[in-house]
Structure 1
Amino acid sequence: MRVQVSSITGICLAAALSTLSASAFANADSEGERLSGEEIRELVWGNQVQGEMAGGEAYSEVYLPDGEIVGDGYSGEATIVDDTMCFDYGGDDVDCYGVRRNSDGNIEWIKDDEVAGFGTISDAP
């Protein structure tokens, strides 16, 4: 019987976390200032951003002033294209996101007019 209770508790916890995560993304989509390419460079580059993407993947990356991306055990290259920040981790795809600053001062990564992730900016270590 204890295993069933633990399983049910685990299922309930997973469902609650999923709901909270979906709620956070839904709320984040409602407001904020979309940044220009130059504003993205000024706000993000030279800093560390920690957050989560919509799929639940947590990240912590430093965006060096020259565009180099430094993560835990990996690196990449960032560029500004028009009013988006583009990420190249050495694969075939380069992903570009708009950046919006929300009312809390955090950022939201925007893809196809939807919030694809969020992050908190801090000084680079």
Structure 2
Amino acid sequence: MTPARILLCLAALLPIPALAQDLASAEAIRAAIVGNTVRGSMVASGGFTEYYAPDGSIHGPDYSGQWSIDGNRMCFGYDGNPASCWAVRVTGRSVVWVGSGGDEGTGTILSGNPNNY
């Protein structure tokens, strides 16, 4: 086997980065997240538990904000600050927030508003 073929075979064994088709559409984001709670962690800010109400409001344990969907990205604004947006990967009850640097947060989708925020 030539060195080029060996390298090609080895490259096939490497993990493949998330492709665009792995990302959720606006409709899939709404179906999975809106009206539910996500408990997770963001690389930049740590742990969170938030309920995403159908009216576009976010309810946390001691704060609130607004969510929206821009194209196929979910956006979050808190305390009057400009919204930050992420692409979303949803697999069953798992969610991954994907930013320009790759995966920036993960969470578990909980049905409804179990914490009554």
Taking structure 2 as the reference length, what is the TM-score of the superposition?
0.73
Which residue of structure 2 aligns with residue 122 of structure 1?
110
Alignment of 1:1-125 (within 5 A): 33-55=22-44, 57-102=46-91, 105-112=93-100, 114-123=102-111, 124-125=113-114
Which residue of structure 2 aligns with residue 15 of structure 1?
none
Gaps of 5+ in 1: 1-26
Share of identical aligned residues, percent?
A: 35
Q: For residue 115 of structure 1, report the CA deviation from its aligned partner.
A: 0.4
Paired amino acid for 1:110: V
Paired amino acid for 1:96: C
Secondary structure in structure 2 of the residue aligned to 1:91: coil
| Higher helix fraction (1 or 2) | 1
Secondary structure in structure 2 of the residue aligned to 1:92: coil
1:26-67 per-residue CA deviation (whole Å, 9 max, x = no partner) reads x9x658831011110111000000001113600000001111
Distance in 1, matches of 2:90 and 2:101, equals 14
Distance in 2, matches of 1:99 and 1:113, equals 13
Taking structure 1 as the reference length, what is the TM-score of the superposition?
0.69
Distance in 1, matches of 2:46 and 2:96, equals 14
Gaps of 5+ in 2: 1-14
Distance 1:108 1:49, change over 3 A: same
Q: For residue 93 of structure 1, report the CA deviation from its aligned partner.
A: 2.3
Secondary structure in structure 2 of the residue aligned to 1:40: helix
Distance in 1, matches of 2:77 and 2:42, equals 16
Secondary structure in structure 2 of the residue aligned to 1:38: helix
